[in-house]
Amino acid sequence: MRKKYVIANWKMNPIGSREAGDLFRKIKSKVQKFRNVKIIICPPAIYLKQLSSSYSGNKIFFGAQNSFWEDKGSFTGEISPLQIKDLNVDFVILGHSERRENGETDEIVNKKIKKALGAGLNVILCVGEKERDDDGSHLHFIENQIRACLSGVSKNNTSKLILAYEPIWAIGKSSEFSMKPSALHQTKLFILKILKDVLGADGMKIPVIYGGSSEPTNSGELIEEGEVDGLLVGHESLVPSDFIEIIKIVNSAK
């Protein structure tokens, strides 16, 4: 059975390295037994070194929430993908809707993806529409995002990509506003078709995960009926008991 992903996006939380350490300790103490799941913690970059160097296990991986489109130079405040890799961090989230909201375009995400892959990072590419309508224009929106973000990305890199489908209208709410599993399943199939078209047959092997108000109450149906390869978890990844419950549910999903 292929491992599923549970990815924590801590966003700009918590305030303080002590709290970050506490949160991580609570998670790591409970996850060793889950064999079918790959856990990736994406804290603010400022905590990456502290957390990754405090962990010597093989269950948890780390990711950054962003990286720049150049390796080095005069780019004040930016973080190079090589600097992330240098911390023994293997993943980076790119194209998150909260960054797109602040001006990040598909073209920028595309440049960042190429540099991150070149640095040896695995990329968690986020796509997702602002709203849905009956005539299906959200599907064109998702398709355009995927095509633009992956334009010129070599087929040899498919094993280093994870596609996180995150409909913006479902982010940061509670499970009752999350996506319905049947709609998720249809969207996942649509995304795989586009990935195959863009990257060839191996594009179908890219894990497609879901993000948007995943909680213990809906994670089971999102995974089993939505048939996605994992979950990207925002606010619930800051609540250790809920996050561990989500991992447990994903771990035991068929």
Residues catalogued as catalytic:
96, 166
Q: Does 211 bind ligand PEP (CB under 6 A)?
A: yes
Applying CB under 6 A, which part among 54-62, 81-89, 166-174, 190-198 lies near ligand PEP?
A: 166-174
Could you identify the residue written with the tokens 């060839």?
A: 200
For 238, phi then psi, to 5°, come to -95, 0
H/E element holding 252?
Answer: helix 240-252
Q: Does 100 bind ligand PEP (CB under 6 A)?
A: no
Return the axis-axis angle of helices 181-199 and 137-149, rounded to nearest 10°.
40
Applying CB under 6 A, which part among 67-75, 76-84, 192-200, 208-216 lies near ligand PEP?
A: 208-216
Q: Does 166 bind ligand PEP (CB under 6 A)?
A: yes
Could you identify the residue written with the tokens 């609540």?
A: 239
Q: Does 129 bind ligand PEP (CB under 6 A)?
A: no
Applying CB under 6 A, which part among 70-78, 129-137, 190-198, 207-215 lies near ligand PEP?
A: 207-215
Residue from 52, 158, 187, 213 that binds ligand PEP (CB under 6 A)? 213
Give the whole-angstrom CA distance, residue 241 versus residue 165: 24
Give the whole-angstrom CA distance, residue 172 versus residue 12: 13
Nearest residue to ligand PEP on Cβ basis: 234
Rg (CA), the chain: 17
Binding site for ligand PEP (CB under 6 A): 9, 166, 171-172, 211-214, 232-236
